[in-house]
Structure 1
Amino acid sequence: MPENDRLSGCLDALNLEFVEREATPRLLMKLSIQLYLVGLSLSNTVFILEIFGVECTQSTVHNWVHKADLQPESGRSPDHVAIDETVIRLSDVQYWLYAAVDPETNELLHTKHEPTITKVLAHSFLTELSEKHDVSDAVFLVDGSHSLQDACQRHGFDFRYEKYGNRNAVERVFREIKRRTLCFSNCFSNAEAETADDWIRSFSFAWNQLI
Structure 2
Amino acid sequence: MPKNAGLGGSIDQIDLDFVEREATPRLLMKLSIQLHLAGLSLSNTVSVLEIFGVQRARSTVYNWVHKADLQPKDGQSPDHVAVDETVIQLNGERYWLYAAVDPQTNKLLHTKLRPTTTKVLAHAFLTELSEKHDVDDAVFLVDGSRSLQAVCQRHGFDFRYEKHGNRNAVERVFREIKRRTVCFSNCFSNAEAETADDWIRSFSFAWNQLI
TM superposition score normalised by structure 1: 0.98
- 8 A contact 1:91–1:186 mirrored in 2: no
CA RMSD of aligned residues (A): 1.0
Task: Provide the C-alpha distance between the structure 2 equivalents of 1:163 and 1:59, rounded to a whole number of angstroms.
Answer: 40
| 1:184 Cα offset (Å) | 4.3
Letter of the 1:114 partner, please give it: R
Q: Residue 196 of structure 1 aligns to a residue in which SS?
A: helix
Name the residue aligned to 1:101. Answer: 101
| 1:186 Cα offset (Å) | 3.8
Letter of the 2:97 partner, please give it: L
Q: Residue 140 of structure 2 aligns to a residue in which SS?
A: strand
Task: Provide the C-alpha distance between the structure 1 equivalents of 2:166 and 2:187, rounded to a whole number of angstroms.
Answer: 33
| 1:196 Cα offset (Å) | 0.3
Task: Provide the C-alpha distance between the structure 2 equivalents of 1:188 and 1:174, rounded to a whole number of angstroms.
Answer: 16
| 1:182 Cα offset (Å) | 1.7
TM superposition score normalised by structure 2: 0.98
1:87 maps onto 2:116 in alignment = no
1:18 maps onto 2:18 in alignment = yes
| 1:187 Cα offset (Å) | 4.2
Alignment of 1:121-140 (within 5 A): 121-140=121-140
Task: Provide the C-alpha distance between the structure 1 equivalents of 2:158 and 2:184, rounded to a whole number of angstroms.
Answer: 36
Task: Provide the C-alpha distance between the structure 1 equivalents of 2:74 and 2:184, rounded to a whole number of angstroms.
Answer: 25
Change (3 A) 1:187 1:208: closer
Change (3 A) 1:138 1:187: closer
- Identity, in percent, stands at 81
4+ residue segments displaced more than 4 Å: none
The count of residues paired between Structure 1 and Structure 2 equals: 210
Structure 1: segments with no counterpart, 5+ residues:
none
| 1:90 Cα offset (Å) | 1.2
